[in-house]
Structure 1
């Protein structure tokens, strides 16, 4: 395949500030068409060089595409992805892949049946230091995981509270995030779906674990959606975890993602804020990775590029598959369900 014929479903803040410039700059991508609501979609077409613009998803999907990128509001990811996968198209679907576990696992099955790539762009899953950390885990550096800590905090109070000023400054975008996407509970707004999706997907990709039960609580602090999340998780292998999230770092502070894994043979710490990966084995062995300054900062440049490379065969590693994304979705859905039921432990799957 000389050029990937790409279509876009969704043309808002994140697509225009991150994904579209990456695809536009690649010589192996042809931007066939973009689908969105309102007249802004025609300006997006002209700005990025799409061949067509439409309000009709079917018109776009029937335009001879190889792949699509889906950046609609969270609750619209599933029907758009189903329509694309059922046509045999490769799919890059923004996180959270869906809001419900059944839908997430259905997309994973559809992608496998169609024999296509489905990638959810979790930026930290592609950092060299997290790739190196996963290699250590795959080599058995800490043995069987028995306990995990998974914490995330970010300067996103405004995003979830309806004031996107900081996000516009950080990502240099002329298009504001839609409040209905990020700050509306009806459409999957809130910190769990918006941010804990990142830390949990990183945890699941690193470890291969799957949550079996969760008991969780959320707090809104005056917001319409959750700004704080806390949960106790039990995994299939019997391991225990504490998971937490907070939206209220000061604007400009570095994101916190802190994952600490305690195994039968040692401990592995992954800290993106301080840019540390440290292995301590019970037999006395120690290893600390050398990480270039700034590598822990969040960006999402590799996943869109990797999506194209998977399609062309230039790369074979998908670090954020539908399976990883589905494990995150089912955990977050169960956490929110548990919180709504006064923190009762919820069984995720049999």
Structure 2
């Protein structure tokens, strides 16, 4: 009730069933810890409610598949919260890849680093998150608990769930392809959850993808660098810096205007898109099917890291 008063919300409830039973409700945002995403989203979809779900979508790909099927069967809007899908650079990147202007895409290289190691160590949000000061809001808002990122039973895992879920959904977004095979290595750095990851992925159209991520970079630098290599051109995108370059086969370099600081990570874009979807004013800018694609790759990566084997991803 205190939180509801603070934000001017009509209802102050702490029971999921009570929330989902509100008569005027059209859609819900699932922003609980990952271990509760599946049950909360399933309950909402079964009640005929549209859903915006945080990433990682679920703990397993079988859960995300079931949710997708439920949403499709009930003709419901289902959005995965990935703000980078809404930047003009990422949309341009998608259009360039899928238009054929780069020729046949042969290889994609992705590097993502972030300072999230403190969260994996179970430190308080204010002391652990790289951008905690920018995202601080006053009480009664509750920041994530110390187990939200450090306990595999709650979070699913470490960096592979927290940040690689961004990368893998983004990969599906720009290519329109699906992961076919995954080989992965994790380094937990002595923690219960992973901190460093490398993934070698072959997509279903033969594109080779290398992904390197770590959650223990210095506070002075973080990266989300994407390099796409085609037979007729190359594309270089740095999502954290808001830059995009297209190098064509003739040696011409096309530099797109840099994104403004507030455009680099449009944190409100998924929620705004979700509302517009429900009232019929927009298309789905980040379909939950991309969250399922990410979960398929995460499932395969976790199995590969445990078995030291190349894993074939299920086709559905």
Normalized against structure 1, the TM-score is what? 0.83
Between 49-58 and 181-190, report the one with greater CA deviation.
49-58
SS, match of residue 168 in structure 2: helix
Aligned CA distance change for structure 1 residues 137 and 239 (closer, same or farther; 3 Å): closer
Matched, 1:196 2:164: yes
C-alpha contact (below 8 Å) 1:205/1:319 kept by paired residues = no
Matched, 1:43 2:6: no
Highest relative contact order (Cα 8 Å, sep 6+), 1 or 2? 2
Give the CA RMSD over aligned residues: 1.8
- Show the counterpart of 1:308: 275
SS, match of residue 185 in structure 2: strand
- Show the counterpart of 2:173: 205
- Show the counterpart of 1:11: none
Structure 1: 4+ residue segments shifted above 4 A: none
Q: Distance in 2 between matches of 1:176 and 1:311?
A: 28
Q: CA deviation at 1:284?
A: 4.1
Q: CA deviation at 1:113?
A: 1.6
Q: Distance in 2 between matches of 1:280 and 1:319?
A: 27
In structure 1, stretches of 5+ residues that fail to align are: 1-41
Matched, 1:260 2:219: no
Between 210-219 and 296-305, report the one with greater CA deviation.
296-305
Matched, 1:148 2:116: no
C-alpha contact (below 8 Å) 2:97/2:105 kept by paired residues = no
In structure 2, stretches of 5+ residues that fail to align are: none
Deviation readout 1:95-145 (Å, 9 max, x if unpaired): 111111111122122212211211111111111221222222232211232
C-alpha contact (below 8 Å) 1:118/1:322 kept by paired residues = yes
1:71 to 14, 25, 31: 31
Aligned residues: 306
2:257 to 265, 270, 290: 290
- Show the counterpart of 2:291: 325
Matched, 1:228 2:196: yes
Aligned CA distance change for structure 1 residues 295 and 135 (closer, same or farther; 3 Å): farther
Deviation readout 1:280-335 (Å, 9 max, x if unpaired): 2224444221113425643412111111011112222x232111111111101211
Matched, 1:277 2:244: yes
- Show the counterpart of 2:310: 345
Q: Distance in 2 between matches of 1:55 and 1:310?
A: 26
- Show the counterpart of 2:21: 62
- Show the counterpart of 2:143: 176
Q: Distance in 1 between matches of 2:134 and 2:302?
A: 29
